[in-house]
Amino acid sequence: MPITEYLERNAKSYPNETALIEINPEIKEKRRVTWKEYELIESGYAESFRREITWSVFEEKANRCANLLLSRGIKKGDKVAILLMNSLEWLPIYFGILKAGALAVPLNYRYTSDEIKYCLELSDSDALIFGNEFIGRVEEICDKIDRVKLLFYVGDSCPTFAENYLHLSANFSSAKPDITITDKDNAAIYFSSGTTGFPKAILHNHESLVHAALTEQNHHGQTHDDVFLCIPPLYHTGAKMHWFGSLVSGSKAILLKGVKPASIIETVSREGCSIVWLLVPWAQDILDAIDRGEIDLKEQKLDQWRLMHIGAQPVPPSLIKRWKAIFPNHDYDTNYGLSESIGPGCVHLGIENTHKVGAIGVPGYGWQVRIVDDKRQDVADGEVGELAVYGPGVMSCYYKDEKATAEVLDNGWLFTGDMAMRDEDGFIYLVDRKKDVIISGGENLYPVQIEDFLRANDKIKDVAVIGLPDQRLGEIAAAIIEIKPGMSATEDEINEFCKALPRYKRPHKIIFADIPRNPTGKIEKPKLRKIYCGESLVATQIKG
């Protein structure tokens, strides 16, 4: 069945129960209001720090969106792009696009105007629904995107080059449109994160989306009583597919804007969140804030919080050790996935396997996994090879890119470009991106392994290891290190710490600098290579 049927079921089964809550701490701080002084807004867009909708209103808004699009000539198979920050409008618009039989095309909110134009053209988008934050970027390209006939604006003070989506959609029928959708119909185009180059357009059908929902609910056992805290951007498969577990169980979800540690903990307490998905930097920031005494856990209601899970990047075992020391009753899980495999879950650790922290886990619900050499032959346990996955969530293709598709898809198997190894117990460990492997003097160095080692240093907040050109060795490993606030470190200290590593794995250069990460938490190594490759590098002492 298509993913839209879960929404329709929830609207019938739980019509008056809360589906989504949006919380914006910045508005709360600006207005200096308390948690009890909030507005419940069922339509329109206003400055409230806490807004919510029920399942029936969610369904009605999605249907109004679909009927608006259909009235403007959007047909089954057309593409409608979404360029919005996380908000209460995001998911109803997404489902409205699907209900119209169209394909949803979520766009990264960090895209420049040129990148927005590129992605609209690559995906053959026929319409764009955008928010206030993007008026300037869309205005720069609105005369250059000939195929995009419809520009809808979500917010107050609609610009002259667009139409007011909220006013228009409110006047359309809330009845389900008469559009037949099947599992095999195309549903969405997502874009790769661009950490290894310019984004590729990834095509998924409804079967992929449904499998993502079933995988998430199977892994984390969401019940109707759970409350999921969603912080990462909804344009990415990770956040949305984790929320799909709430969709399957008909349970409440909180969309929190901002990543301040105090706001996260306060929201968990006030809203009774039981499941929280964090990125590595946010988990680190929460622990650091607790250590500094900025958060008093005794003042918070956290007994209902049962699961903290992390995905989107390798997780340092030292981080989870710290987390469990402060939150000993939390279940923990990590998920591995790609947008090409419809987000998280093709490999997952499992809450029963915390003793294997450091591994990304075992094949997920409905998934098969292989680790292969350059000839795509299986390697033995303990050997490093490329990770390949197979299951109902594998993408249909890279849209309009047969060559790139052929490079990664082979008889239904998706070759991920990630290097991994499997231990004797069947647990898989992510070693690194294939393109990030450093070949130094004939030795393969896997940056993730060096990064995990360095993160165990109490002074280090974040670290990225990249390869730099070297006339003698071909490449050398350079460690870019971000020191925790209030602390300082020197090159000699880090080199002394690294003596516990085998000599060939020790970084040849130490660089103290901030670590750039994209909105899904991945280190932007192409950006670091652009900054540091070819430059004369001098390690300097820095105080946090």
- Residue-wise DSSP of 222-236: --TT-EEEE-S-TTS
Alpha helices (H) along 363-473: 402-408, 447-455
Judge if 461 and 414 occupy the same domain.
no
Judge if 198 and 326 occupy the same domain.
no
CATH number at residue 472: 3.30.300.30
Judge whether 280 lies within some domain.
no
Judge whether 350 lies within some domain.
yes
Instruction: For residue 378, give Cα distances in angstroms to 45, 201, 369, 371, 386.
Output: 54, 29, 10, 6, 9
Judge whether 269 lies within some domain.
no
pLDDT of residue 537: 39
CATH number at residue 57: 3.40.50.12780
Given 200, 228, 258, the domain boundary residue is: 258
pLDDT of residue 327: 95
Q: Which domain holds residue 29?
A: 4-258
Distance CA 540, CA 511 (A): 7
pLDDT of residue 193: 65
Judge whether 293 lies within some domain.
no
Judge if 36 and 175 occupy the same domain.
yes
Q: Are 28 and 59 in contact (CB under 8 A)?
A: no
Judge if 426 and 444 occupy the same domain.
no
Residues 6+ apart with CB under 8 A from 63: 96, 99, 173, 174, 175, 176, 177
Judge if 478 and 376 occupy the same domain.
no
Distance CA 67, CA 58 (A): 14
Judge if 380 and 489 occupy the same domain.
no
SS3 220: helix
Judge if 481 and 534 occupy the same domain.
yes
Given 377, 403, 433, the domain boundary residue is: 433
pLDDT of residue 199: 81
Distance CA 215, CA 279 (A): 20
State which residues of the chain have pLDDT below 50.
33-46, 195-196, 535-544
Judge if 96 and 212 occupy the same domain.
yes
Phi/psi at 46 (5° precision) = -140, 170
Judge if 209 and 247 occupy the same domain.
yes
Judge whether 270 lies within some domain.
no
Judge if 118 and 235 occupy the same domain.
yes
Judge whether 69 lies within some domain.
yes
Judge whether 196 lies within some domain.
yes
Count of domains forming the chain: 3
pLDDT of residue 48: 64
CATH number at residue 336: 2.30.38.10
Judge whether 297 lies within some domain.
no
Distance CA 455, CA 316 (A): 7
Q: From the DSSP assignment, how many helices (H) and strands (E) are in the chain?
A: 16, 29
Judge if 423 and 489 occupy the same domain.
no
pLDDT of residue 519: 66
Judge if 62 and 199 occupy the same domain.
yes
pLDDT of residue 542: 34
Given 229, 258, 287, the domain boundary residue is: 258
pTM beyond cutoff 0.85: no
